[in-house]
Structure formats: structure tokens, C-alpha cells
A and B are shown apart, each in its own frame.
Chain A
Amino acid sequence: MIFAVFLLVLIALIGAPLFTVLAAGGMLASAASEISPDILIIEMNRLAASPNMISLPLFTLAGVIMANGGAAERLVNFFKAAFGWLPGGLGIVALGACAFFTAFSGASGVTILALGGLLYPMLREEGYRYRFTSGLLTTSGSLGLLFPPSLAIIIFAIIAGVNIEDMFLAGIIPGLLLMFMLSLYSFYDCRHFNLPKHKFYMHAALNTLKGCAWDLLMPIAILVGIFGGYVSVTEAAAATATYVLIVETVIYKKLTLKKDLFPILTECCTLFGSLLIILVIALGLTNLLIDAQLPMHLLRFMQHHVDSQLQFLLLLNLFLLIVGAMMDIFSAIIVVVPLLLPLAVQYGIHPAHLGIIFLANLEIGYSTPPVGINLFIASQRFNEPVLTLFRACIPFLFVMLIWLLIVTYIPELSLWWMDE
């Protein structure tokens, strides 16, 4: 059995599709438990019936439409007019635009592809140094991961059985804190760049605001809709996808239904399908592992060696940083969360706080080798070697590590919405 598991890990590491490795693991686990492997299909069917699952493809669709339309350009224009006058302002513009975009596109690398090409020449022409520019844009590719309606948050909520609305609330302050810290760093570092000074023009800011008002209204509408109790998460997803489609085809006319709708739908299905199949198979496998009491064994082991919550959190961060560097975010959530959740609860960590710690670690993992997806996409986009980009990311990653410690050890930042 140990040999088979080792072999499967090896097969995964040499590039087999993750769902086939997980399915093989599931068959192996069911054979070990003397259960028929069709339990995996039963679990798939059960997960597909989970009420919030429908929101996943619909929010993905909204992100894909935005990426294919002109939202990136409109947002950058607005952020530039509103914040470009600040010292290091264009860096802050990049942070804001990327965070906004990632929250919708689900940190699948779309942000770097859609905004990188726009922001990179803009920052370089302005006089921002190469290392700062590429480091900033590479790390910004996963910046909005904690803001609603991020796919990562929705998947964590589904897997951990946490209320999606609670998770949305839990992510807001840690997400804003990271934006603030990176903006401070951008402001501090840019003092040496001898950048031209820009004036703030109210009419330019208002004009660009008018230009992207429909885009900016969207997250507000989602938050008001969900937290005001007007729509469920699934309904909000359907409304958002329709809204974005209308904005891009009828209002801004950047897309046409006849030419663009089918490729967009297919692209969305491809993104969602590659995710869903892992999600459903992994859940079957982890349920088998739970049936085999693996989390209980882990817990017993941890209780022997780890005395306090502080120690547990430190180990958790170390473990998740490694996971983030080795696995892509969605597979990590699906495979690791069911095993970690009972341990975290035993050490008195709220599931929503665990979710934020988890996603914060994986957000850092996006820009660390060997599997940091941001590094690979940025390497393709900016034609730079992965290691050069990683070196450029180091100062930003350092800021993110400090942020991670703050978010981990001050749970109130994630749990402010809870009643005493």
C-alpha cells in the first residue's frame, strides 16, 4: 500500500493529470477499506447536488467575460486618474486594478495575462525599475484572492462546510490589509526611482469613473445583494454573469454575442471543468481517508508533539507554505482542507479563520517555485526566466510573509463580524 501511494505521488509529480492520480488514489483507498469504488461516483453525484456549486461556473463566467472585454483597460484608466498623483501611485494603481480583477477571475492567471500587458509598459515608461515592475505584477496576479466573489473562497467554504457569506466577510479586512501593506512598500521603494510627478485632475478622475462606473458597481451590487438578503449566492452569481455580459455587449460594445459568446462559454467551461473533476474526485478520496480515520491518527500524533495553538499555527503556516509552493490552489484546498479542518478545530481555530490562513499561505505560494503559477504565467507574458522573476518577487513576498503572520496571530481581523 505504501509503495502504491509513493508511486502515485511520483506519477503526479511527473505530470499526470491530477484528477487521474486522485481517482487512482480513491480506488486504492476503497480497495483497502473493502468498499466498492463506485462510492467515488456516488460522492461525485452528492457534491454536484450541493446548493452553492452552481455559483462556481457562473462567477467564473463573469470573470472570463471581464477578461475578454475591456474591463482591464477601463479600470486601469480610472485607478490611474484617481491614484496616479500619489508618490508611487502607479504601483498602487496596479495593486488596485489587479486585486479587483483577480476577485472575479479567480486567480487563474488571467490577471497577469489581461493586465500585465497593459501595466508593464505603463510602469516602465513612467520610470519604475525593472525588478520592482516585474515583482509587483507577478505577485499582484493573486492579490484579490480574499475578496468576494473569489472562487477560492467559495471552494473553501463548500469543502469546509462554512457559510459562504461568512467567508466573504472574513476575507475583506485581511485582503485590504495586504493591499495597504503592499501600497506602503510601493510608496517607500519608489522614493529612489526619480519618478515624474502628476497632478490630480478632478475632471479626468470623473471622466474615467464614468467610463468604468458599470464595472465598479458590480462588487457593490454583489455585496449589497448577498448581505442585504436580496439574493442567494447562486442567484448573485447568475445576476453577475448576466450583468457583465450586458455591460460588455450592450453598454460598452466590446464583445458581440454572435462572435464572442461561444468562445467565452467554452473557455469558462474548460476552466470550470478542469476544476470540478478534481473537486468531485478528491472529495471522494478524502471522504475515504476520513472513513479510515486518518485525521484522527494525525490528531493523536499532533497532540503528542504540539502543545499549544501558537505552535500549531506556526507549523500550519510552514506546512501550507510548502503546499502552496508544490500544489495549485484549488487542488490544495480540496485535498488538504478536509484533513486539516478537524485538527484546527481541536486547537480552537475557527474554520473561517483557518480558511483565511489557508488562502493567505497559498496566495504566497502562487509566486514561489517550483509550481508558483504566477511565475510561469508572468515568465510567458514578460519573456523573463522564472528565477529572475522570483528574485524580483522576493521583497513583495517578504511583505506578504509579515502580513501572513499578522493575519494568523490576530484572528479578530478575520472574525470581526462574529458576535461575542
Chain B
Amino acid sequence: MTSDLTTLKKNKQIQKNKLIDKLHNTLIKIEGWAAALSLLLMLVLSLLQIFIRNFFDFGFPEFETINRHLLVICGMMGAVVATSHLKHIKIDALTVFFSEKINSCLRCPIALFSALICAAMCYYSIIFCLDEWEFAPSNERWTLPFKLIYPIGFSLLCLHFIFLCRDIRGRSKQE
């Protein structure tokens, strides 16, 4: 009876883990698409701008504004994708001197530290967005939704660091 209960609990845990992994992978795919599409749109708008300016002698200043916001979306989403693939830039000059055991012990606290910092940055981004909403001149209000990329980006970064920590713990349990 007890062993059945344990197996049931284990199965439930496995299913839960599978669901989380599936959600995680879907999230990574969506982030990749968002980054790629914003870059593609940035390229298309830049080319359109060159074309219109050279052939029709005028331009859309809104394209410039949209491009600057697309740059942030592309950058933030790119940073999120880099984090999910563990491709972020780091110095780690000391890790080469440590054994693999010490390095693996350090990974989870580092991921937690990073998650904490990203959560704090997300909080300050929300304050920034609220301030912008309150004080933005009426002709710039249409750009405000773009600024949401800061809290969204930092919250996704935070989430990925938490996922990373979970993966590290899962792996160390398996070992």
C-alpha cells in the first residue's frame, strides 16, 4: 500500500515535471520567435526607410521610433534566449581553478542570485513604466506599450534563472 502511494506520488511528480519542461520549452520557442521577428521587422523598416527616402524624397519618423523600440525588444528577448541556452556573457576567471564538484555546488546559488537581481530589476522597470505612463506627453503615448518589454524581459530572465536552479537541483538529485 505504502509502495503504491509512493509510486503514485512519483508518477505525479514525473508528470508535473514533464508539464513544467513542456511549458519551459514552449516559452523558449515563443521568446525565440519574438526576438527573430522583431529583428526581421527592424531590417524591413530600415530598408523601407532607405527606399522611401531615396525614391520618394520623404520619410516616416515613426519608423525610426518603432525601430528603436524593436531594438530593445530584440535585445531583451535575445538576452532571455541567451540565458535560456546558458550563453550569457560572464567573467568566471576563478572557475577554471576550481574542481567540477565545487563548480557544480556554486551553480545553484549563482542562479538564485541572478534570479533575485532580475526580480529587483523587474520591480524597478514597473516603477519606470508607471512613471512614463503618468508623465509621457500625449504625442508619445502610443509608444508606451513598447516600454512594457522591460518588466516582461526581466521577469522572463528571472523565470529562466529559477528554471535553471530547478534543473541543477534535479540533476544533482539524480546523481
Q: Which listed residue (A13, A41, A48) contacts B71, Cβ 8 A? A: A48
Distance, CA A371 to CA B76, complexed state (A) = 25
Among A49, A53, A273, A370, the most chain B Cβ lie within 10 Å of the Cβ of A273
**A42 interface residue (CB < 8 Å to B):** yes
Judge whether B120 and A273 touch: CB under 8 Å: no
CB contact under 8 A between A14 and B110, given known A54-B46, A238-B47: yes
Contacts of B150 in A (CB 8 A): 41, 44-45
A223: chain B residues within 8 A (beta carbon): none
Q: Are A17 and B78 in contact (CB under 8 A)?
A: no
Q: What residues of chain B lie closer than 8 Å to A12, measured between beta carbons?
A: 90-91
Given known pairs A19-B88, A38-B131, the reply for A269 and B77 (CB within 8 Å) is yes
The answer to whether A277 and B47 have CB atoms under 8 Å apart is no
Is A241's beta carbon under 8 Å from chain B?
yes
Asked whether any CB of chain B lies closer than 8 Å to the CB of A270, the reply is: yes
Chain A residues with CB under 8 A of B131 = 38
- Does any Cβ of B come within 8 Å of A278's Cβ? yes
| A19 engages B106 (CB within 8 Å) | no
Q: Does A331 contact B (CB under 8 A)?
A: yes
A266 touches B81 (CB 8 A): yes
Q: What residues of chain A lie closer than 8 Å to B118, measured between beta carbons? A: 20, 23
Binds A, one of B3-11, B13-21, B92-100, B167-175: B92-100
Q: Report Cα–Cα, A242/B39, bound state, in Å.
A: 12
Contacts of A296 in B (CB 8 A): none
In the complex, A61 Cα to B38 Cα: how many Å? Answer: 13
Q: Is the CB of B89 within 8 A of A14?
A: no
A275 contacts partner chain B, Cβ-Cβ < 8 Å: yes
B128 touches A45 (CB 8 A): yes
> With an 8 A cutoff between CB atoms, is A201 at the interface?
no
Q: Are B39 and A265 in contact (CB under 8 A)?
A: yes
The answer to whether B23 has its CB under 8 Å from any CB of chain A is: no
Known contacts A239-B50, A371-B91; is-contact A276 B79 (Cβ 8 Å): yes
**Chain A minimum-CB-distance residue to B151:** A41
Those of A252-305 within 8 Å (CB) of chain B: 261-262, 265-266, 268-278, 280
Q: Would A328 and B79 count as touching, CB distance under 8 A?
A: no
CB-CB under 8 A from B83, the residues of chain A are: 17
Residues of A with C-beta under 8 A to B120 = 23, 27, 37
| Contact count band on B | 35 or more
| CB-defined contacts of A277 to chain B, threshold 8 Å | 75-76, 79
Interface residues of B in 1-60 (CB under 8 A from A): 32-33, 35-40, 42-43, 46-47, 49-50
| Bound Cα distance from A17 to B68, whole angstroms | 25
Name the one of B74, B76, B95, B121 contacting A57, with C-beta atoms under 8 angstroms: B74
Given known A37-B120, A38-B128, A265-B39, contact A273–B76 (CB-CB < 8 A): yes
Q: Does B87 contact A (CB under 8 A)?
A: yes
Contact assessment for B80 and A273 in the assembled complex, using a CB-CB cutoff below 8 Å: yes
Chain B residues with CB under 8 Å of A170's CB are none
Asked whether, in the complex, the Cβ of B106 is within 8 Å of the Cβ of A58, the reply is no
Complex interface bits, A293-335 against B, C-beta within 8 A gives 1, otherwise 0: 0000000000000000000000000000000001110110000
- B residues near A231, Cβ cutoff 8 Å: 50
Residue of A nearest to B35 (CB): A269
What B residues does A57 contact at CB under 8 A? 39, 42, 71, 74-75
Q: With the chains together, A161 CA to B67 CA distance in Å?
A: 21
Please name all residues of chain A whose beta carbon is closer than 8 Å to the beta carbon of B69 when the two chains form the complex. Answer: 48
- Check B124–A266 contact: CB distance below 8 A: no
Closest CB in chain A relative to B160 CB, distance in Å: 10
Q: How far apart sit A262 and B94, CA to CA, in the bound complex (Å)?
A: 36
Report A370 CB to chain B, min CB distance, Å. Answer: 5
Contact, CB under 8 Å: A18 / B91: yes
B141 at the interface (CB under 8 A from A): no
A32 at the interface (CB under 8 A from B): no
Contacts of B49 in A (CB 8 A): 235
Do B77 and A273 touch across chains, with their CB atoms under 8 A apart?
Answer: yes
The 10 tightest CB contacts between A and B, nearest first, are: A273-B78, A276-B75, A238-B46, A269-B78, A265-B36, A269-B35, A15-B92, A273-B79, A274-B82, A277-B79
Q: Which residues of B contact A (CB under 8 A)?
A: 32-33, 35-40, 42-43, 46-47, 49-50, 67-69, 71-72, 74-83, 85, 87-96, 98, 103, 106-107, 110, 113-114, 117-118, 120-121, 124-125, 127-128, 131, 147, 150
Offer 10 A-B interface pairs, CB within 8 angstroms, sorted by A. Answer: A12-B90, A23-B118, A40-B121, A54-B46, A57-B42, A57-B71, A239-B47, A273-B74, A278-B89, A326-B91
